[in-house]
Amino acid sequence: MRIIYLSNTLLEDDFEILKKDINNLINPSNQNFHYRFLSALSLHTHLEAFSLRPFLKKNESVSLVNKVSLSNENLSFTYLPNKNTLIYKYLKRSSTIYKVLEKEIIKDKRQTIIIVDGLKYALAKVALKLRKYNHVKVYGIITDNPTLLSNESSLYSWLILKQYEKYDGYFCLSEGLNKLANVNNKPSYLFFGFAEEMPKQARPQKEAYFFTCGALYKRYGIINLIEAFLKLKTNNQLLIAGHGPLIKEIKEYEKKDQRIRYIGLLSRNDILKYEEHATLNINARLYDESLDQYSLPSKVLEYLASGTPLLSTIHTSLMNEYKDEVMWVKDDSEIGLNRALNKFLKSDNKVLKEKALEAKRKVLNENSLKTQGGKIYAFLKDSN
């Protein structure tokens, strides 16, 4: 069984290069999830990753190597041909990628399975064409409802939804996503995502701090969190990392209160460092029935794996799984978050730390790369 993985995932060093252009719409959450998926599955079988990398908007002279052999002998990595012109994008890209992948499939007579990021229309279109003409199986990774994406048109969302029903199997982050995509009840594997235990790192700063990171949109609760923090009596700083349209507004808050600091779009290693040494990690995403059903805040798993106390607004599936290990906040308003933060400051630190360490043990036991990679590989073998 040969496995080909199609996504926009970059090698981590290349991702750090490209994301320096803040205007480029690179999603760190998407990058981290798919890189972990690749890493997890490659612990159990050989995997060939083909990536359609994005372009920088300001500096297109940055060159990335065509093919890289990684230290992990089970994973090869190839960047697919791409050009930053409208003619190439709409008239040539699809056929070019198809020819590259068809050549790869034809030269190897083993059964081929393609795993594709279901939110990447161009790649999914090629994968489904290969399925039709080259008798490969295609499994879609369904991480979100496309109608909930912040920066995509309704037409793009509709096209993705139409592709969802055509896959031979599914990897879904929730039962809601499985019901949305898997309308013909084909094989599916449901899981929350991945968690990693990282080596201990040096404390990033001397001052105590609360930490939150991710996409900086109002619906993710960052403004409510800041307003709640402004009224909080604490020497802890509020450190905010990430990308999105609210950066300018957050910097205005910095002028009002020196405890509030925007620290930029960090590397994955730096994020883990800040999470590990925080007084408290915070997920303030506003509750929305659709988000709760279809969109899993993957950042929460990372927070859980840090061993640091976590305060989070409600996500039904995660709350059912980690009911006692997290300080869950039902009221995600400014008042509700302020009340929850005050409760945290008055709580027994020893008890909070014990719960955080239990959360770490639990999430690593259930969602480590090795564990999930093994289950994913077993699912692929059993369904073929």
How do residues 336-378 score in pLDDT, each as one tens digit?
Answer: 999 999 999 999 999 999 999 999 999 999 999 999 999 999 9
For the chain, give every domain's residue range. 2-193+368-382, 209-367
Per DSSP bridges, beta strands 209-215 and 67-69 are unpaired
- Summarised one tens digit per residue, pLDDT across range 290-310 is 889 998 888 999 999 999 999
pTM of the model: 0.90
Mean pLDDT of 133-143: 96
Top pLDDT among 314 and 91 is at 314
* Mean per-residue pLDDT, 324-328: 97
**H or E stretch including 15?**
helix 12-18
The answer to whether 266 and 293 are in contact (CB under 8 A) is: no
Question: Residue 230: CB partners within 8 Å, gap ≥ 6?
Answer: 253, 256, 257, 260
Average pLDDT, rounded, for the chain? 90
Q: Is the pLDDT of residue 59 over 60?
A: no
Q: pLDDT-based confidence at 210, cuts 50/70/90? A: very high
Joined tokens for residue 239: 């450190």
Best CA proximity match to 62, nearest among 24, 5, 6, 116: 24
pLDDT band at 15 (very low <50, low <70, confident <90, very high): confident
Q: Which range has the worst mean pLDDT, 89-103, 112-126, 330-344?
A: 89-103
Pairing of strands 188-190, 209-215: unpaired
CATH of domain 209-367: 3.40.50.2000
Do 268 and 12 meet the contact criterion of CB atoms below 8 Å apart? yes
pLDDT tens-digit series, residues 120-137 = 999 999 999 999 999 899
Confidence of residue 76 (pLDDT cuts 50, 70, 90): confident
pLDDT at 64 over 60: no
- Report the alpha-carbon distance of residue 219 to residue 8 in Å, rounded: 25
Q: Candidates 3.40.640.10, 3.30.930.10, 3.40.50.2000, 3.40.50.300; correct CATH number of 2-193+368-382?
A: 3.40.50.2000
**Residue pLDDT, tens place only, 161-190:** 999 999 999 999 999 999 999 999 999 999
Is residue 142 predicted with pLDDT exceeding 50? yes
**Residue 140: both structure tokens together:** 């879609």
Please check the confidence at residue 273 and state whether its pLDDT lies above 80: yes
Please say if the pLDDT value at position 274 is more than 60. yes
Tell me whether residue 372 is exposed, middle or buried, using C-beta atoms within 10 angstroms of its C-beta: 0 to 12, 13 to 18, 19 or more.
buried
Q: What is the pLDDT of residue 56?
A: 54
The DSSP code for 91 is I
pLDDT, tens digit, 9 for 90 and up, residues 213-272:
998 999 899 999 999 999 999 999 999 999 889 999 999 999 999 999 999 988 888 999
User: What's the rounded Cα separation, in Å, for the pair 279 and 306?
Assistant: 11
What integer pLDDT is reported at residue 263 of this predicted model? 96
Distance CA 46, CA 215 (A): 33
Q: Which of 14-28, 147-161, 325-339, 358-372 has the lowest mean pLDDT?
A: 14-28
Q: Count CB neighbours of 323 within 10 A.
A: 9
Q: How confident is the model at residue 69 (pLDDT cuts 50, 70, 90)?
A: very low
Q: Tell me, what's the pLDDT at 153?
A: 84
Whole-number Å distance between alpha carbons of 45 and 147: 34
Structural contact between residues 108 and 2, judged by C-beta atoms closer than 8 angstroms: yes
Among 282, 329, 332, which Cα is nearest to 304's?
A: 282
